[in-house]
Amino acid sequence: EAGVAQSPRYKIIEKRQSVAFWCNPISGHATLYWYQQILGQGPKLLIQFQNNGVVDDSQLPKDRFSAERLKGVDSTLKIQPAKLEDSAVYLCASSKLIVTSNEQFFGPGTRLTVL
């Protein structure tokens, strides 16, 4: 079974530029998550999709961050414009269902550096 795919793996941009990340979840997984992991911290949930609908985006900085999952499969996360504090690893995860025993499968992440 193929895992969660993410691209690019690394990205360096200057502040105020735009950047987009792509995620392809495990086949058949209805739920998709985007997490932000700042150095020295644990991952923090940004947004959660169930199929192509948003379940939770309460921690997404909506003035600069946006995400979509148009066909209920792959997803993109965009930052526009980027700030220095957006430097982090952006992790995508997927799971089969929203159930109590939720095991989420993570991709390798995209490491973003904002200069």
Partner 1 sequence: DQQVKQNSPSLSVQEGRISILNCDYTNSMFDYFLWYKKYPAEGPTFLISISSIKDKNEDGRFTVFLNKSAKHLSLHIVPSQPGDSAVYFCAALTGGGADGLTFGKGTHLIIQP
Tell the smallest beta-carbon distance from residue 20 to partner 1 (Å): 19
**SS3 state of residue 84:** helix
Contact region with partner 1 (CB under 8 A), list: 12-20, 41-49, 61-69, 79-87: 41-49
> How many Cα atoms occupy the beta-carbon half-sphere of 5 within 13 Å?
7
Among 19, 25, 48, 79, binds partner 1 (CB under 8 A): 48
Q: How far is CA 108 from CA 6, 76, 84, 95, in A?
A: 7, 15, 22, 15
Please list every residue from 59 through 88 that binds partner 1, using CB under 8 A: none
Contact positions toward partner 1, by CB under 8 A? 4, 33, 35, 40-45, 48, 55-56, 91, 93, 95, 98-109
